[in-house]
Each structure stands twice: as C-alpha cells, then as structure tokens.
Amino acid sequence: MDERRSVVIFLFDEVQSLGLSGPADVFSCANEVTSASLRYDVRTASHDGAAVRTSSGLTVIPDCGVADISDVGTLIVPNADAIPALEAEAARAFGALAGRAQRIASVGTGAFLIAETGVLDGRRATADWALSDELARRFPDITVDSRDTVVKDGHVTTAGGGTSAIEMALTLVEEDLGRDVAQQIAQFLVTHLRKPGGQAQFADAQLHEARGLALRQLQRQVQADPGADWTLRSMSLRAGLSERHLSRQFRAEIGMTARQYVERARVAVASRQLIETRQSAELIAREAGFGTEATMRKSFLRVLQVAPLEYRRRFS
C-alpha cells in the first residue's frame, strides 16, 4: 500500500506563480518517475479557502482553507515580490498550520512569514539575496546565510528567490527518495526542446547532472539563480576548484564548456517563463541573466533553433 505524504502550499495575495508551480511540478514528477511506495499528495490552501491573486495578475483558487487541513507533512511558503504581510486572522491561521507541520520550507520572501512564527529562531536560513539584510535586521536570532541558494536546518528548509523554488523542492525529494530520483526530476524539468509535430518537450539531454558533488552543487546553483554573474572565476570560487580544473570537469562530465552550460541554463529558465507567464521578453531576458532581449534571442536560436517569441507562440 502506498504511503501518502501531505504537501501543503500556503497561498496569499501577491504570491509569485513560480513559487507555487515550481514545487508542485517537482512533487508531481516525483509521483510519475518513481516506483517507490511513497506518494505526494499536494494541496494548496489559503487561510480561509478564498481565491488569491498572484503578482502576475492570475487568480488562483486554493483546494481548501487552513481549517480544513488535518495532516501537514510538508508546508511550503512561496515567495512574493515584496515582503508578505498577513492580516491578524491570516497570521494566526498560518502560525497554527506551521506549528503542526512536520517539515517546513520557504522560497524567497516566504522566509519572513516563517520567521514571524519563531520557527527560525536559532537556525540558519536564506532568502531572496536582495532582502537578506532585512531578514537579519528584523530577526536577529536567525543566522542569515545569503551565499547559499538552499539552506536546511533541522526540519526547516529555506531557499532564495525565483527558480530556487525548484531546487528547494528537489532537496526535499532527495531527502525522501534519494539523489537519483531528484536528479531524474531535475533533468525532466530543466527545459523545453522544439520537436517535430510542434510539441514542447523537456530536454534532459541538455543539462544532465555531473557525478562529482562539487560540480553537481554548482550546477544546481546556476539553475537556481541564472541571473547571477556566472564567470569562470566566480564559479570556480563557488565550487572550490581551480579555474583550469573546473573547465576540465565541465568538459569531461557535462560535455560542454562552463560558458555553454550557463547559456543553456538561462535558456532553460527563460523558456519556461515564456510559456508559463505573461512577462515581457525584455523582462524575462533580464531576470534570466541575458541582459538584453537581443542577447536572449541569439542564445535561443543557437540552443533551440527558434526565436523566443516564436517559441512562446508555438508552445503556450
């Protein structure tokens, strides 16, 4: 008989869509790719069961309200563009939910909601890098480490903003089902490829994970924050390897240069944003690390053989 593990994603107004859909996709894929008896039961909940409006203007109707939830295996708190502030009733409902959760995880600014409950006191945590100093100022009992995209301390896992939501969920799946399953999901989700017949499919061949731990962790950091300034020097410092050794590792284990890998990681994130959001190509280009729409277009043509807006038109 399958073991069902409850995953509750807490929703509130101005939540970012990726912080909701990214983890949900990871847990859904885990149910598809593994033959293990453990299955994830993912639900969304707002404090009163009412619909919420995302930062991109989408209306999301949750599965239930907090009062309807009896079992909380994992509680996930997505991020928002600004530090979320709950009204008193919603804050009490969230605090009660967090107190019952066996495991808690946040993305970006979601760490502020967890911090308000006191759960992060005395723990290490991370958040959106732009607000890490503010998190440390407001909650001095928390050791804020903005260098890591995902920080696990006891039963609490915190992640940076943006696509760190996916890395965070992969970390939880790896904890439950092992690295091989987490790697398989990461490969499956990483990007879309243009295929005959006009279908957008996920490209696991583009960004397979390395065997070595240092390089594998670096890959996940690049995928989680593609907009960072990823030079060979900055990557070598992150990985704790010399630039020459890191270059050899990329060619030997990934089959491409470090620069090519960063480009493909950025295309992966941008392609998903083109399909799943209504953001402009210019904004997506900046957030994915291309700088300009023209640079993103060149990379898309080189990697996927299709321009970004044509990609959106075909696969949205």
Per-residue pLDDT at 81 exceeds 50: yes
As a whole-number percent, the residues of the chain with pLDDT over 70 amount to 91
Distances from the Cα of 245 to the Cαs of 82, 240, 260, 261, in angstroms?
40, 10, 16, 16
pLDDT score for 44: 96
pLDDT score for 207: 62
Strands 124-125 and 64-65 come out as: unpaired
CATH of the domain at 295: 1.10.10.60
Scanning 147-189, the segments in alpha helix (DSSP H) are 164-177, 179-189
pLDDT score for 197: 30
Asked whether residue 24 falls in the same domain as residue 105, the answer is yes
pLDDT digit string, tens, across residues 182-241 = 877 876 775 332 333 333 333 333 566 787 888 888 988 898 888 899 999 999 998 889
pLDDT score for 137: 94
Q: How confident is the model at residue 82 (pLDDT cuts 50, 70, 90)?
A: confident
pLDDT score for 153: 94
Per-residue pLDDT at 23 exceeds 90: yes
Q: Which residues, in sequence order, are CB contacts of 168 under 8 Å at separation 6+?
A: 23, 105, 107, 150, 157, 158, 159
pLDDT digit string, tens, across residues 88-132 = 988 999 999 999 999 999 999 999 999 999 999 999 999 877 788
Q: Which two tokens stand for residue 10?
A: 């807490």
Asked whether residue 128 falls in the same domain as residue 75, the answer is yes
Per-residue pLDDT at 174 exceeds 60: yes
Asked whether residue 15 falls in the same domain as residue 134, the answer is yes
Asked whether residue 16 falls in the same domain as residue 156, the answer is yes
Residue 188 in any domain: the answer is no
Residue 186 in any domain: the answer is no
Among candidate residues 118, 144, 177, the one where a domain is terminated: 177
Asked whether residue 18 falls in the same domain as residue 157, the answer is yes
Which residue shows structure tokens 């709950």? 86
Residue 50 in any domain: the answer is yes
Strands 52-53 and 59-60 come out as: antiparallel
pLDDT score for 69: 92
Residue 183 in any domain: the answer is no
129 DSSP 8-state letter? G
Asked whether residue 172 falls in the same domain as residue 253, the answer is no
Asked whether residue 148 falls in the same domain as residue 95, the answer is yes
Among candidate residues 150, 177, 204, the one where a domain is terminated: 177
Residue 182 in any domain: the answer is no
Rounded distance, CA 81 to CA 13, Å?
Answer: 11
pLDDT score for 301: 84
Hey, which residues does 106 pair with through a beta bridge?
77, 158
Number of folded domains in the chain? Answer: 2
pLDDT score for 280: 93
Question: For the residues of 247-292, what is the DSSP string, one character each?
Answer: HHHIIIIISS-HHHHHHHHHHHHHHHHHHH----HHHHHHHTT-SS
Highest mean pLDDT among 71-75, 78-82, 217-221 belongs to 71-75
Residue 185 in any domain: the answer is no
Asked whether residue 173 falls in the same domain as residue 197, the answer is no
pLDDT score for 193: 29
CB 12 within 8 A of CB 90: yes
CB 188 within 8 A of CB 204: yes
As a whole-number percent, the residues of the chain with pLDDT over 90 amount to 48
CB 111 within 8 A of CB 163: no
Asked whether residue 148 falls in the same domain as residue 74, the answer is yes
Range of the domain at 252: 193-315
Q: How confident is the model at residue 156 (pLDDT cuts 50, 70, 90)?
A: very high
Rounded distance, CA 213 to CA 216, Å?
Answer: 5
pLDDT digit string, tens, across residues 27-38 = 999 998 877 678
Q: How far is CA 286 from the centre of its chain?
A: 18
Neighbours of 212 (CB within 10 A): 14
Per-residue pLDDT at 309 exceeds 80: yes
CATH of the domain at 45: 3.40.50.880
Asked whether residue 36 falls in the same domain as residue 165, the answer is yes
Instruction: Look over the chain and give the mean of its residue pLDDT values, rounded to a whole number.
Output: 86
Q: Which amino acid is at 220?
A: R
pLDDT score for 277: 87
pLDDT digit string, tens, across residues 236-284 = 998 889 999 999 999 888 888 999 999 989 998 898 888 888 899 999 9
Asked whether residue 21 falls in the same domain as residue 132, the answer is yes
Q: Which residues of 150-174 are buried (b: 16+ CB within 10 A; e: fewer)?
A: bbbeeebbbbbbbbbbbbbbbbbbb
Rounded distance, CA 231 to CA 236, Å?
Answer: 8
CB 116 within 8 A of CB 91: yes
Q: Which two tokens stand for residue 69?
A: 């939830």
pLDDT score for 313: 76
Which residue shows structure tokens 């410092």? 237
